[in-house]
Amino acid sequence: MHALAHTHTRKDLMSEPPKCCICLDEFTRPASLPCGHCFCLGCIGEYWRIHGACQCPLCKAFFPTRPQLKTAQTGAPTEETAAPLKAGEVPCDLCPAKHRAVKSCLVCLASYCAAHLEPHYLREDLGRHLLISVVKNLEDSVCRLHGKQLNKFCRSDRTCICAMCAQTEHRGHHIISINREATKKKVKLKWRRMKVQQAIEERLSRVEGINLSVCLSEKHPKEARAQKELLGQLEEEISELQSRSTELEQLEQTEDDLRFLQTFLHTASWTDTFTFK
């Protein structure tokens, strides 16, 4: 009985489809290396990009130049390329059907789905391009002077910069990482939201008092008219403050640190100079 169970186990293992040793899942577009080992094209492409060298993860065979990979298309399309685009997702710039993009290229200034990203893993020239997590407004993530990723913040000039900017135009300035500056600004954002809310509550209290005063001064038309004008002004201010509060709340929910900082700096003009009467 035990031997029979053991035989069934071996057959089950042998019947299982082969899996990529990087993602530990069934192969998606299998790619064979010159050493004979096989991986998903996307997996080995990302492995080489992250490690900065073309080496087999299994046997450690090193390839001085990016080798020509032998690829084969798997039968079913992947979920990433087949699934329709959901709200908030970035579409592939090359897909007629607009499938979900999985990476953005800072050199091509385009975002690609898994299928259209493949040339960046197959071709040696495209393999040197810098791929990042998908971003919506890709041009805003790149330094317009050097074409590099904006990953640092100059506190001296209050602007997002690239690593090359830090060594040239902003040399000697107070420079920290985008993530660290975003963390600081998120603390300041909470304070701003609190101040706006306090301003709203203060104006609502004044509106309540004026409404009572208008009722008591109906026999004095001139005074009542002045009170109504002030009431209209306060209601406009409350509406504006509530709009700003909503903007700050949405900004607080922004996950991308670069996008958060860029938006924060844009909104700082009115939040820093706003007079809370």
Report pLDDT digits (tens) over 59-118: 999 998 888 887 776 544 444 445 666 777 888 988 887 788 888 887 788 889 888 898
pLDDT(276) > 50:
no
For the chain, the straight-line distance linking the first and the last C-alpha, in angstroms and rounded, comes to 86
What is the model's pTM?
Answer: 0.51
Residues 182 and 236 placed together within one structural domain of the fold:
yes
Query: Which residue is listed with tokens 């007079």?
Result: 275
Could you tell me if residue 163 is inside a domain?
yes
Question: Which pLDDT tens digit goes with each residue over 1-20?
Answer: 444 444 444 444 455 668 89
Angle at 76 between CA 72 and CA 79, to 5 degrees: 110
Report phi then psi at 96, rounded to 5. Answer: -65, -35
Question: Which pLDDT tens digit goes with each residue over 214-224?
Answer: 665 565 667 77
| Mean pLDDT computed over 124-140 | 78
Residues 132 and 203 placed together within one structural domain of the fold:
no
Could you tell me if residue 57 is inside a domain?
yes
Could you tell me if residue 132 is inside a domain?
yes
Residues 188 and 110 placed together within one structural domain of the fold:
no
Residues 22 and 47 placed together within one structural domain of the fold:
yes
Query: Which residue is listed with tokens 């101040």?
Result: 195
81 Cβ contact list (under 8 Å, min separation 6): 99, 113, 114, 115
Could you tell me if residue 4 is inside a domain?
no
Write out the residue range of the structural domain in which residue 134 sits.
Answer: 88-141
H/E/C letters for each residue in 159-204? EEECHHHHHCCCCCCCEEEHHHHHHHHHHHHHHHHHHHHHHHHHHH
Residue 160 and residue 181 in contact, taking contact as beta carbons nearer than 8 Å: no
Which is higher by pLDDT, 226 or 42? 42
Residues 60 and 22 placed together within one structural domain of the fold:
yes
Could you tell me if residue 1 is inside a domain?
no
Confidence band for 198, pLDDT divided at 50, 70 and 90: very high
Give the separation between CA 156 and CA 174, rounded to whole angstroms. Answer: 6
pLDDT reported for residue 201:
92
Question: Which pLDDT tens digit goes with each residue over 25-60?
Answer: 888 889 999 999 999 998 998 898 888 888 999 999
DSSP-derived letter for residue 138 is G
Could you tell me if residue 83 is inside a domain?
no
Could you tell me if residue 256 is inside a domain?
yes
Question: Which pLDDT tens digit goes with each residue over 144-184?
Answer: 788 788 889 999 998 999 888 999 999 999 999 999 999 99
Residues 137 and 147 placed together within one structural domain of the fold:
no
Residues 106 and 31 placed together within one structural domain of the fold:
no
For residue 239, give the nearest of 193, 273, 199 by alpha carbon. 199
Which is higher by pLDDT, 57 or 231? 57
Could you tell me if residue 186 is inside a domain?
yes
**Number of domains forming the structure of the chain:** 4
30's torsion region: left (phi>0), alpha (psi -120 to 50) or beta? Answer: beta
Give the separation between CA 32 and CA 41, rounded to whole angstroms. Answer: 9
CATH code assigned at 39 = 3.30.40.10
CA 160 remoteness from chain centre: 15
